[in-house]
Amino acid sequence: MRLAVIGGLAAGPAAAAEAKRRDPAAEVVLFEASAFVSVGACETRLVAAGVLDDLPSIPAETLASTRGLDVRTRHRVDALDVRTGTLTVEAMDHGSRYTDRFDRFILATGARARRLGIAGEDAHGVFALRSKEDAHALRDWLDTEPVRHVVVAGAGPVGVELAEAVRLRGLRATILAPEGRALAGLLHADLGAPLASALRAAGVALRAERAIEILTNAAGRVRAVRTDRGELIGCQAVIVAVGIEPRTELARAAGIRLGATGGLAADDQMRTSARTVWACGDGAEVRRVVDGASVLWPVAPVARQTGRVAARNAVRRGGPPATFAGVTGAAAVVAFGLELAAVGLSERDAAFAGLDAVAVQVAGRSRSSVTPGGHPLWVRLLAERGSGRLLGGQVMGAEGAAWRANVLVPLLRARATARDLAEDTDLLYTPPVGPAVDPLRVAAARLAAAAR
Ligand SMILES: Cc1cc2nc3c(=O)[nH]c(=O)nc-3n(C[C@H](O)[C@H](O)[C@H](O)COP(=O)(O)OP(=O)(O)OC[C@H]3O[C@@H](n4cnc5c(N)ncnc54)[C@H](O)[C@@H]3O)c2cc1C
């Protein structure tokens, strides 16, 4: 058995290691176009802030020797022929190309940062963050150039985290958020005020504008961003954080089917439309359990788990196939002194799914009222009208938001109702981590009544 795993950042190494664990006799080759494998991209904000010098990663040699893999960095797979089982590979350091035959393939080609598609985007001082090299480039620019002001285009999780990193360096930061608020994809507008005031307090300007052009000086370095309101914002660096696009060109050229999201379509065994090809990671569609929709859910635990499922099936000789249980859709950002977490559907998602949803929002405290040091905490829960089935939740506060959001994950997976959470879920009670009647339970009780 020769297995090729294409892509070596998060999903690929998890898949390759799992394949070797399951079938030690298999020859597993991991191809990665960049120089690095097994990279912790989630720490990019710390590198940008100058807190960490580099993103963590596992040296290719260590990955190879400890997992028994053939790891080929700086090897880009240019073509996959599923009919003949052949890969065409560019050995980038040797300037050569070769072909190699395999029995099975796992595509872990991930995603690239979406571009703004505007003039000036390729100027010196414009950054999009996906890889170790991207983090180095931003770090080096901020370390060595006379940067005073950074414009962050995009107010999603990455944009917000990087704006905080910029402020931690003592630089001015402006976020361009055409929606008029930060984390609009994660949090309902009614939860917007605390985040907006945290941004203001941290000295971050948030402008409801879109970048339409990046202007440069004679040396080709960024000097300003022009917005759709005709404003010119002077700056010495631009961070583009407007989402991701699955990297699918290899699969498309191989005739592998894409889903409606533009990601690789895969079944619950992570098998693609080609019999010998599995997919995993940020580039692969997964099922959202709450509404059954096929979605892209580009987070590291999902990347690694889909990788392991793909690997188990790719090397399987018998027995039942491994299946991926889908995602609830959990995401969190911790920035500017707030934890902001969301699980499951938003009201917009629910409407799109044709679900009749009811929402309630409550404000409470993170600790019992007599315990010093508590903070305001906001909980917004969503349920299906009639059945009361929980559809989603959003929790925000200076502390205790992420653990409460995590409580919702298994409940959504189990199709629990608001009443189940309000009455039959024995959340722990310890005054320093929550009041006796937790805001989560208060919200659930109100929701159970409202959803009837
Ligand atoms: C700034 C930032 C912060 C993040 N924070 C979090 C967080 O807090 N929590 C969380 O869960 N997730 C976070 N993520 C997301 C997480 O990093 C991703 O989910 C994870 O990296 C996905 O891994 P992947 O292997 O699927 O894809 P990718 O990371 O996109 O890696 C794909 C790899 O495949 C390689 N490749 C592609 N095509 C080829 C080819 N043809 N030949 C050879 N190699 C190829 C690429 O070079 C790349 O290294 C963050 C991401 C970023 C960018």
Can you give the pLDDT at residue 363?
A: 98
Q: What is the 3-state secondary structure (H, E, C) of 210-224?
A: CEEEEEECCCCEEEE
- Torsion of Cα atoms, 214 then 42 then 243 then 181, to 10°: -80
Q: Which amino acid residue places its CA nearest to atom 32 of ligand 1?
A: 110
Q: How far is the CA of 82 from the centre of ligand 1 (A)?
A: 24
pLDDT in tens, 100-121: 999 999 999 999 999 999 999 9
Can you give the pLDDT at residue 384?
A: 98
Q: Is the CB of 246 under 6 A from ligand 1?
A: no
Q: How far is the CA of 281 from the centre of ligand 1 (A)?
A: 8
What percent of the chain is predicted at pLDDT more than 90? Answer: 100
Q: How far is the CA of 113 from the centre of ligand 1 (A)?
A: 10
C-alpha 316/C-alpha 269 separation (Å) is 11
Can you give the pLDDT at residue 356?
A: 98
Angle at CA of residue 327, ends 55 and 279, nearest 5°: 70
Q: How far is the CA of 31 from the centre of ligand 1 (A)?
A: 14
Which among 29, 30, 34, 42 is the best mutation to test ligand 1's pocket, defined by most ligand atoms within 8 Å of the CB?
42
Is the pTM above the cut of 0.95?
A: yes
Can you give the pLDDT at residue 261?
A: 97
Question: Do the beta carbons of residue 135 and residue 47 sit within 8 Å?
Answer: yes
Per-residue confidence band for 275, with pLDDT thresholds at 50, 70 and 90? very high
Size (the chain), residues: 452
Per-residue confidence band for 412, with pLDDT thresholds at 50, 70 and 90? very high
Q: Which two tokens stand for residue 297?
A: 């859910």
Q: Is the CB of 74 under 6 A from ligand 1?
A: no
Tell me the average pLDDT across 55-73: 97
The SS3 call for residue 406 is helix
Which among 89, 162, 299, 340 is the best mutation to test ligand 1's pocket, defined by most ligand atoms within 8 Å of the CB?
299
Tell how far CA 379 is from the center of its chain. 22
> Hey, how many other C-beta atoms are within 10 angstroms of the C-beta on 172?
17
Can you give the pLDDT at residue 56?
A: 96
Residue pointed to by tokens 């005739």: 255
Can you give the pLDDT at residue 81?
A: 98
Can you give the pLDDT at residue 308?
A: 98
pLDDT in tens, 191-215: 999 999 999 999 999 999 999 999 9
Q: Is the CB of 158 under 6 A from ligand 1?
A: yes
Can you give the pLDDT at residue 94?
A: 96
Q: Is the CB of 108 under 6 A from ligand 1?
A: yes
C-alpha 390/C-alpha 412 separation (Å) is 6
Tell me the average pLDDT across 272-282: 98
> For residue 229, what is the DSSP state?
T
Enumerate the β-bridge partners of residue 88. 79, 99
C-alpha 159/C-alpha 150 separation (Å) is 11
The SS3 call for residue 158 is helix
C-alpha 287/C-alpha 45 separation (Å) is 29
Q: How far is the CA of 434 from the centre of ligand 1 (A)?
A: 35
Can you give the pLDDT at residue 1?
A: 96
Question: Do the beta carbons of residue 74 and residue 35 sit within 8 Å?
Answer: yes
Q: Is the CB of 90 under 6 A from ligand 1?
A: no
pLDDT in tens, 344-391: 999 999 999 999 999 999 999 999 999 999 999 999 999 999 999 999
Residues 6 or more apart whose Cβ sits within 8 Å of residue 411: 390, 420, 421, 425
Q: Which amino acid residue places its CA nearest to atom 38 of ligand 1?
A: 109
C-alpha 189/C-alpha 195 separation (Å) is 10
